[in-house]
Amino acid sequence: MSNDSVYIDRFLEMMAAESGASPNTLSAYRSDLEQASSFAKGLLSEADRAGLEKIASAWSELKNSSVSRKSSSLRRFFGFLVEEGFRADDPSDSLPRPGGQRSLPKILSHEEVAKLFETIEVRLNTKNPKPKDARLSALIELLYGSGLRASELVSLPRKSVMMDRPFLIISGKGGKERLVPISDRARHAVKRWTGFVDGDEKYLFPSRTGHLSRIRLFQIIKDLATKSDINPTKISPHVLRHAFATHLLEGGADLRALQTLLGHSDISTTQIYTHVDSARLVELVNNRHPLSRHDLTR
């Protein structure tokens, strides 16, 4: 099996588990990626800008909608390779964008995030809270509070969160390590959950076969959304990671700091998290532009 085949399978697994892609969408991604891999003689994952431009040249007779879809598939694939540490650079900006700007990623509002935590609080404040509710609290606090990838979250060692240490040391794909701040809320949520975890367990979120799977995490979050009166199609582990990043940017964080927090090798990958609603952009111009504060004719 070629590296491309392995990476494509992992990418589709991520899309299913973290983004909730439908079977039809996954099939379309696979078709586009396998065709591009065939054109690249099984070396798509190693392609540079010139290589991607050659692949795109084979699309010259296709409709704009088809070119747009294929470009989008490859951009998502290369974004995945960079984010997971399988390569350091993302050459996919050389691909055509016939449809104009790419669509904005899904985002949760502050109010929707608050609903999720309200649902969890109601469960925890019952007379006899269940272990799965303590686990749910720890999962959501770490996903939204620290912006972990689903794969990083489910594979956390049991002793990774210490009450006297306000950060996690995350070992991401490619063996790269980074420090991730963890809030007091998250540490207390994890402490509550570890009371239900056997001391001999290797993982913080164990299962019968190792650790909680990404697919099971996806299902847990969908169920929480339904019980919080949020459309479950809007939410996934990756959407909570995106909410973490977007809400930090809204609060004043800069892209370089966010790049470090998210563990991105390339700043261009971090830029997908700069989705800001139009109302805030209008407010920014009205309140921060020099013309809003000064009479420059004086």
Would you please indicate which residues are annotated as catalytic (active-site) residues? 149, 173, 238, 241, 264, 273
Shortest CA distance to 271 belongs to which of 25, 32, 47, 93? 93
Contact 205, 154 (CB under 8 A): yes
CB neighbour list of residue 227: distance below 8 Å, 6 or more residues apart: 119
Q: How far apart are CA 221 and CA 143, in angstroms?
A: 11
Shortest CA distance to 271 belongs to which of 83, 110, 84? 83
Contact 94, 57 (CB under 8 A): no
How crowded is the C-beta side of 258, counted as CA atoms within 13 Å? 23
Q: How far apart are CA 191 and CA 185, in angstroms?
A: 10
The dihedral built from the CA positions of residue 34, 37, 43 and 49, taken in this order, carries a sign that is negative
